[in-house]
Amino acid sequence: MMKMRKMRSIALASALTMAATMVPSDLIADRKGSVRHSSSKKKSGTSRSNRSNTNRSTRPANQPGANTGRRSATRSASRSAGRRGYRAGYSRGRHHGWNDARRSRRRWRAVTGLFVLGVYSATRPKQTTTVVVTGATYYYAGGVYYQTSGSGYVVVAPPPGAVVYSVPTYSTVVYVGTTEYVYVNGTYYVPTTKPAENPPPPDPNAPTTASAEGGGEDPSDIEMHESADENYEVVAPPPGATVPYLPDDADEEIVQGKTYYVFSGTYYRAFASDGDTVYMVVDDPTKQA
Amino acid sequence: MISYLAGAFVALLTASAWSAPPEVPGVDDDADRILRDMGDYLRTASEYTFRAEIAYDEIVEDQMILFGSVAEIALRRGLDQLPDQLNVEIDGDEIQRRLVFNGKTMTLHNMRKNLYAVTDVPPEIDAALDRFFEVFGSSVPVADLVYSDPYSTLIENVQRGFVVGQHPVNGIRCHHLAFAQEAIDWQIWVEVGPRPVPRKLVITYRDEPGSPQYIAELSDWNFEPRLSEHYFTFHPPNGADEIEFLPPQEPQIEEVPQ
């Protein structure tokens, strides 16, 4: 455990150090195709670089659970690769994070497009863990939370305080100040040492792919990330958090002439940054005096 | 012995005199000259438009995937106290946006989401692009060809360079040049003849996993486009929302000494 912790903090320190001194480069095509920005090592406002650097995605572990230290290890590797890029004057690593996040989102949509809040299903995913939050029982699979409803199950908003063993591999790590959050499609987690129910053992009778079931997607099939020394606790969206995408069912709302995006009661504002549009958690404008 | 030393001295003098123009060590004279001719041609043009067809590698799900975009670029260099101006329209697999620099502000319009953001930038195109890059973390496609002195921009970090040969790009005979700098290799194809424009640019990111490439084919060069002012002015389309560039935030961690 100590080892993993140490590795992470070193990676973080070096990432931020590098970011503080380098101009970020390229995300999408236009950022990449420049010899100048690929190679210049100019100082920039440290603030921007720092902020930019705080957004990146975790790298998928190919075999969730196979190597318990994987999350930290893969992240460190991913960061250092990115920083080498910085050193060489080309900082694709950082933006790769965003690209990954966007692609993660595509994948998320492809896999879980049906799992929007309020959707009802007659059956529970084939492998769920049970999460109890203030007396209420939830069933968790693939980043999706269910509660019983009538004779079936309904997708519900992740309850703050829920502690889970794993998160989907295509989560994005964001920072507010120095606090790390793992962002998954509108939900924010913080790493925690609080206990969580372990995932159920693999069911030998379970179909190997979702398609083998011959209907409906199953969030149990989503690739998950886990760590030996941490679990993940759902927290309220922290104001100031900046994320690369919002869930599909986020709504647009105009308050006092300004456009906000609202998901599950949280208000966001759009900004141009990192070569794309990003969304920042803001205070509820309807509650301001 | 003395004559040997003298000979060496003369050879040294000769060598230094011979390399008197600020050529880059490690870059062949021919490669340097061709690149410089190209840079001068673009640098001294008062306005030009061109089209870039771009393909670039990205690793998705542990597999190398090729994405593409097409960019239409129009540049007017500041003359007679007029400012530099730039208009870029990009239509790609991942992005669809327009970038307008009117000499005072840079406007970025995300056409897919119909959101736009405006930021004040310096009037010179180089400073404007750099500033935009700082604010947004992105630049225009093949930005190297838009800066005021493309040769200097391109050669700045080059460590080695040579002429590969004369090879055609889409049927046009070109000088094929290869350059290497830290972490990246790049190649450029420059049209042979009186109009030495770049016809292709390939960047290989040597240090990245899988050595991904960025490939831009450049066409439709027009040095007399006679563009109207309207072209360099942004009028928000119907329903467009203005957003801000993400404001800078406080640094989170002090620099750690190496």
- Residue with the bigger pLDDT between B19 and B92: it is B92
Predicted local confidence at residue A42, as pLDDT: 33
| Block residue for tokens 């120095």 | A178
Query: Bridge-partner residues for A189, per DSSP?
Result: A182, A234
Burial of A44 (0-12, 13-18, 19+ CB in 10 A): buried
pLDDT at A255: 92
pLDDT of residue A115: 64
Query: What is the structure's pLDDT at B73?
Result: 96
- Kindly report, residue by residue over B104-147, the tens digit of the pLDDT: 999 999 998 899 999 999 999 999 998 888 888 777 888 889 99
With CB atoms and an 8 Å threshold, state whether A24 touches B137. yes
Q: Across chain B, what does the average pLDDT equal?
A: 86
pLDDT reported for residue A14 = 30
| Radius of gyration of the CA atoms of chain A, in A | 20
Q: Is B182 in the A-facing interface, judged by CB distances under 8 Å?
A: yes
Q: Nearest-CA residue of chain B relative to A279?
A: B246
Helix (H) or strand (E) holding A51: helix A46-53
Domain spans of chain A?
2-111, 114-235, 242-287
Euclidean distance between CA atoms B222 and B49, whole angstroms = 5
Q: How far is A178 from chain B (nearest CA, A)?
A: 6
CB contact under 8 A, A39 and B209: no
Query: Mutate which of A26, A28, A180 to disrupt the B interface (most B C-beta within 10 Å)?
Result: A28
Give me the residue spans of the domains in chain B.
Answer: 25-239
Distance from chain centroid for Cα A157: 16
Q: Which of A87, A23, A17 is nearest to B182 (CA)?
A: A87
Q: Does B151 reach chain A within 8 Å, measured CB to CB?
A: no
The length of chain B in residues reads: 258
A-B interface: how many C-beta pairs under 8 angstroms?
Answer: 197
**A23 or A41: which leads in pLDDT:** A41
Question: Contact B115/A270, CB-based, under 8 Å?
Answer: yes
Q: Quick check: B157 and A45 CB within 8 A?
A: no
Does the domain made of B25-239 have the CATH classification 1.10.150.110?
Answer: no
pLDDT tens digits, one per residue of A122-176: 888 888 889 999 999 999 988 889 999 888 899 898 999 999 988 887 788 888 8
Residue A33 has its nearest CB partner, among B142, B182, B258, at B142
pLDDT for B220 beyond 90: yes
Chain A environment of B210 (Cβ under 8 Å): none
ipTM for the whole complex: 0.72
Contact (CB, 8 A) for A29 and B54: yes
Provide the pLDDT for residue A144: 87
Give the global pTM.
0.70
| pLDDT for position A196 | 83
Contact B205 A92 (CB under 8 A): yes
Residue of B228 and A20 predicted with greater confidence: B228
Instruction: Say how many CA atoms lie within 13 Å of B186 toward its Cβ.
Output: 28
Q: What is the pLDDT of residue B5?
A: 52
CA distance A270 to A250: 12
Pick among A10, A14, A30 to test the B interface (most B CBs inside 10 A): A30
Q: Which two tokens stand for residue A19?
A: 């970011």
Q: What is the pLDDT of residues A63-116, one digit of tens each?
A: 222 222 222 222 222 222 222 112 112 222 223 334 444 444 445 454 545 567
The whole-number pLDDT of residue A143 equals: 85
Helix (H) / strand (E) element for A15: namely helix A2-21
> Please, which pLDDT band fits residue B3 given cuts at 50, 70 and 90?
low
Q: Where are the beta strands (DSSP E) in chain A?
A: 56-57, 120-121, 129-133, 136-141, 144-149, 152-156, 163-164, 166-168, 172-176, 179-184, 187-192, 224-226, 231-235, 242-243, 251-255, 258-263, 266-273, 276-282
pLDDT at A121: 81
